Structure 1
Amino acid sequence: MLKPTFTCPDLNSFCLLDALGLVVTGQLIRRDRAILECRVAEDDPWCRGCGGQGVPRGTVIRKLAHLPLGWRPTALWVRVRRYRCADCARVWRQDTSQAAAPRAKLSRHAVLWALKSVVIDRMSIARVAAALAASWHTVNDAVLTAGRQLLIEDPTRFDGVKVIGVDEHCWRHTGKGSHYVTVVIDLTPVRAGIGPARLLDMVPGRSKAVFKTWLDAQTQGFREGIEVVAMDGFSGFKTATSEELPEAVAVMDPFHVVALAGDALDQARQRVQRETTGHRGRSGDPLYGARRTLRTGADLLTDPQDRKLTAVFAADEHVEVEASWRIYQKIVAAYRCPSKPMGKQILTEVIRSLRRGIPVKLVELKKLGRTLNRRAADILAYFDRPGTSNGPTEAINGRLEHLRGTALGFRNLTNYITRALLDTGGFRPLLHPHLR
């Protein structure tokens, strides 16, 4: 084992003060915090107006919250000299901009530590503020400002984006005004197999106009680079894509296609339940008892579940439910098929079978058929571009829900968008030179 080489203890280096242009002159360890008395390393007694030499006129103390050492809040008390020019009577102080921004209450290291804690460690602002012994608003403002400067306003953030996903997201559930935003996700890393999806942007509102306006605001090079847009069944996103990205391929992801078929199955089951029993599903009703089994893939059914479905379908009055169930299972089987060309062929046949010849009684399948035939090109495009779906977009929505839970909700949409971009923007902050 190699013997380590030690040097003399250096409190300036240990506390990262040498990079701030400060020198420790004293320390005070309290039970609740540590206080380091400092002075500015480089003296600058020369007048910035006439160049004359200044005369010392006392000192003032600038108090800064520093990054916690051993999770003990640490404060810097910087003694700043004041000078007065003997020639022009100008008064000035020593420059402490290397240690902190003008009028800031956090040192530059404290700001970066807070940003790393929020972005990498996913800590709440309240927990970071407690570790710094600073107010919530002070830490929140510092994190949002630094995050926008270092990460969000990075000019290369939109480079290399070829596949995007678009979806809606509910950012709050109470209060007046719009509760929804449109989220745009970069799916390029997922498609290439090099990393997770990341949030590109979040725009207030959910409509064709919102997505179209966002696309129009991007550079021509960005729009020309987009090859695929994954989306749900909302026609507004499809129309905006066709108008702004005529060369891009729209892909309706499997999750929403299966969800449409599952909704049709549920609606058929509920309708037959009411028609045959005269009431909604209750405990003991065969259809109500099989509601979850009906949504289970046929290849995943256990023997008891298979027997339950056989008993349900044995009744003549349940034939419409069985017809809807078989369509649902064919759609699921198409997406689970290991061969993409074969899966595409299966789903194509299902869509064609729903085009005409459906009994009038099966209103749910007729409605499903109209939707699938209208979006057939988008649905089948998935099989030509495997791996392109809105699944990662839904995962981002889940992480945003976790963010809102950690923060106990948001009231300011601007702050929420910034925090969301920092939390799920995929900036790889560990590689960022300012966050190492």
Structure 2
Amino acid sequence: MSANRIWKKLLTVERAVVEQVEIDQDSGVLVARVRPTTRERGRCGVCRRPGRGYDQGRGRRRWRCLDAGTTQVFLEADAPRVACREHGVVTAAVPWARHGAGHTRAFDQQAAWMATECSKSAVAQLMRTSWRTVGAIVERFVADRDAGLDRLAGLRRIGVDEISYRKGQRYMTVVVDHHTRQVVWMADGHGRAVLEAFFTALGPKRAARLTHVSADGAQWIADTVAAHAPQAVRAMDPFHVVAWATEALDAERRAAWNRARRQARDAATARALKDSRFALWKNPEDLTDRQQAKLTWIATSDPRLHRAYLLKEGLRTVFAIAREQDAGAAVDALDRWLSWAQRSRIEVFVELGRRVRRHREAIVNALVERLSNGLIESTNTKTRLIIRRGFGFRTADAVIALVMLTLGGERPTLPGRQPAPA
């Protein structure tokens, strides 16, 4: 094997000729002087079509390459400019790097892979670059991966939700494709105006092809979907419905605690009710022996609170019936639960019953279609992990770039390695 082929392999450069490799005496870095092959010369850096030579540009330049052990490596080559019919005078393309980038494709690929696995600070330290440069590499990699790809094409069943990414009510809106299980759209902010932007990007023709939309009970989502995709079946996410019941139960638990403090003046009973939160919140099959004993004690000492617990479990059972039996039985169970809540004489559950009744159509759609926002809740959980791993982000754009890299398509692999089999 020739020395040129060995260096090309070590430097991860293709369609190029390695002319010389030496150690820079001033900086101590390894510099490989290269040139594109004859077939790769004189191409537009943007569209890569052949162009007419214009001038020598700013002379020779360097591109950061993957380190060789502990030694930094740079590729050095001429950077002439060409005149492209479409893009005008631009720097000529090189096969080892993207247009306008100061790093090789292999460097970008490794940095992008690491960004999906650890924090940007760790990537910056290992790759010996800046935090901002890692962000730029992520954006560049996603743009190159998604070039010519229409993420909104073929959408039929989507999930819509919002997620907080910073303190101070800073939210992002997320749209997920239930079929591909990928994030297809994200934007800073939430509310009708933001979701309107999604439907503007989607267009009326593609919006008319939507068949199902899963979401929580936010009215701005329901109104926007009804305005742009009235034919789509809107399904109310079961997770949020059960969360409403859990919130109502916790409100009744606090009321029971306050009643015990005021009426019985029994500090031990009040403290026991205060500490019963997890026993009431958890599913029966997940209770510890101690929590089960606590629940049994509540049934005898405060029947009203225990009845509220049974109402919460009854609503959760409605969705379990839909999963395990059939939709018709689940709809019947939902109607029986609504009647029970109305007669419960527990104010928070009477109000919850009214709330569920207002969203009954969307909840029934979720039962019949067996459609939930579980996928988008999983996406939100992974997004929170990305935010926590990065110790927070100052802008939504940085979060969106990493989410789209990690959850919006084919994830990067390490240079020279095939993706792991599914």
Q: Which amino acid counterpart does residue 335 of structure 1 have in structure 2?
A: F
Q: Which amino acid counterpart does residue 147 of structure 1 have in structure 2?
A: V
In structure 1, the partner of 2:103 is: 106
1:77-103 deviation line (CA, Å, top 9, x unaligned):
425499xxxxxxxxxxx9663344566
Question: Do structure 1's residue 118 and structure 2's residue 133 form an aligned pair?
Answer: no
- Secondary structure in structure 1 of the residue aligned to 2:230: coil
Gaps of 5+ in 2: 43-50, 81-90
Q: Which amino acid counterpart does residue 293 of structure 1 have in structure 2?
A: A
C-alpha separation between the residues in 1 aligned to 2:203 and 2:349? Answer: 43
In structure 2, the partner of 1:295 is: 281
Question: Do structure 1's residue 389 and structure 2's residue 376 form an aligned pair?
Answer: no
1:312-366 deviation line (CA, Å, top 9, x unaligned):
2223xx2321221221121122222321333332122112333x4453xx21011
% identity of equivalent residues: 22
Question: Do structure 1's residue 183 and structure 2's residue 174 form an aligned pair?
Answer: yes
Determine which of 338, 347, 369 is the counterpart of 1:351: 338
- The 1:38/1:229 distance shift into structure 2, 3 A limit, reads same
C-alpha separation between the residues in 1 aligned to 2:143 and 2:174? Answer: 18
- The 1:142/1:350 distance shift into structure 2, 3 A limit, reads same
- The 1:314/1:96 distance shift into structure 2, 3 A limit, reads closer
CA RMSD of aligned residues (A): 3.8
C-alpha separation between the residues in 1 aligned to 2:340 and 2:383? Answer: 40
- Secondary structure in structure 2 of the residue aligned to 1:112: helix
Question: Do structure 1's residue 198 and structure 2's residue 182 form an aligned pair?
Answer: yes
Check conservation: 1:61, 1:77, Cα contact below 8 A: no
In structure 2, the partner of 1:234 is: 218
Check conservation: 1:255, 1:390, Cα contact below 8 A: yes
Check conservation: 1:261, 1:368, Cα contact below 8 A: yes
- The 1:429/1:163 distance shift into structure 2, 3 A limit, reads farther
- Secondary structure in structure 2 of the residue aligned to 1:332: helix
For residue 69 of structure 1, report the CA deviation from its aligned partner. 4.4
Check conservation: 2:253, 2:305, Cα contact below 8 A: yes
1:32-55 deviation line (CA, Å, top 9, x unaligned):
98614213255789xx9899xx9x
- Secondary structure in structure 1 of the residue aligned to 2:330: helix
For residue 261 of structure 1, report the CA deviation from its aligned partner. 0.8
Question: Do structure 1's residue 277 and structure 2's residue 261 form an aligned pair?
Answer: yes
Determine which of 139, 149, 165 is the counterpart of 2:159: 165
Q: Which amino acid counterpart does residue 187 of structure 2 have in structure 1?
A: V
In structure 2, the partner of 1:426 is: 409
- Greater than 4 Å deviation, 4+ residue runs: 41-45, 48-51, 279-284, 299-307, 433-436
Q: Which amino acid counterpart does residue 136 of structure 2 have in structure 1?
A: D
Q: Which amino acid counterpart does residue 368 of structure 1 have in structure 2?
A: L
- Secondary structure in structure 2 of the residue aligned to 1:170: strand
Q: Which amino acid counterpart does residue 22 of structure 1 have in structure 2?
A: V
Of 418-427 and 273-282, deviating more is 273-282
Check conservation: 1:166, 1:182, Cα contact below 8 A: yes
C-alpha separation between the residues in 2 aligned to 1:35 and 1:400? Answer: 39
- Secondary structure in structure 2 of the residue aligned to 1:105: coil
1:259-299 deviation line (CA, Å, top 9, x unaligned):
11111111112112212313999776332233222223345
Q: How does 1:137-176 map to 2 (within 5 A)?
A: 137-151=132-146, 153-173=147-167
Determine which of 53, 73, 76 is the counterpart of 2:74: 76
C-alpha separation between the residues in 1 aligned to 2:233 and 2:172? Answer: 23
In structure 2, the partner of 1:90 is: none
C-alpha separation between the residues in 1 aligned to 2:52 and 2:98? Answer: 22
C-alpha separation between the residues in 1 aligned to 2:227 and 2:8? Answer: 58
Instruction: Provide the TM-score with structure 2 as the length reference.
Output: 0.79
- The 1:95/1:372 distance shift into structure 2, 3 A limit, reads closer
Q: Which amino acid counterpart does residue 344 of structure 1 have in structure 2?
A: V
Of 250-259 and 303-312, deviating more is 303-312
- The 1:131/1:309 distance shift into structure 2, 3 A limit, reads closer
For residue 368 of structure 1, report the CA deviation from its aligned partner. 0.4
Check conservation: 1:351, 1:369, Cα contact below 8 A: yes
1:63-86 deviation line (CA, Å, top 9, x unaligned):
22112345x45422425499xxxx
Q: Which amino acid counterpart does residue 185 of structure 1 have in structure 2?
A: V
- The 1:282/1:101 distance shift into structure 2, 3 A limit, reads farther
In structure 1, the partner of 2:20 is: 25
In structure 1, the partner of 2:239 is: 255
C-alpha separation between the residues in 2 aligned to 1:49 and 1:27? Answer: 32
Question: Do structure 1's residue 66 and structure 2's residue 61 form an aligned pair?
Answer: no
C-alpha separation between the residues in 2 aligned to 1:281 and 1:182? Answer: 48
Check conservation: 1:216, 1:244, Cα contact below 8 A: no
- Secondary structure in structure 1 of the residue aligned to 2:304: helix
Q: Which amino acid counterpart does residue 273 of structure 1 have in structure 2?
A: W
1:134-178 deviation line (CA, Å, top 9, x unaligned):
333334323312322322x5433223322211111111126xxx5
Q: Which amino acid counterpart does residue 420 of structure 1 have in structure 2?
A: V
C-alpha separation between the residues in 2 aligned to 1:128 and 1:112? Answer: 12
C-alpha separation between the residues in 2 aligned to 1:50 and 1:134? Answer: 33
- The 1:98/1:299 distance shift into structure 2, 3 A limit, reads closer
C-alpha separation between the residues in 1 aligned to 2:375 and 2:139? Answer: 25
Q: Which amino acid counterpart does residue 102 of structure 2 have in structure 1?
A: K
- Secondary structure in structure 1 of the residue aligned to 2:196: helix
In structure 1, the partner of 2:306 is: 322
C-alpha separation between the residues in 2 aligned to 1:124 and 1:250? Answer: 37
Check conservation: 2:185, 2:198, Cα contact below 8 A: no
Determine which of 338, 353, 357 is the counterpart of 1:369: 353
Q: Number of residues paired by the alignment?
A: 393
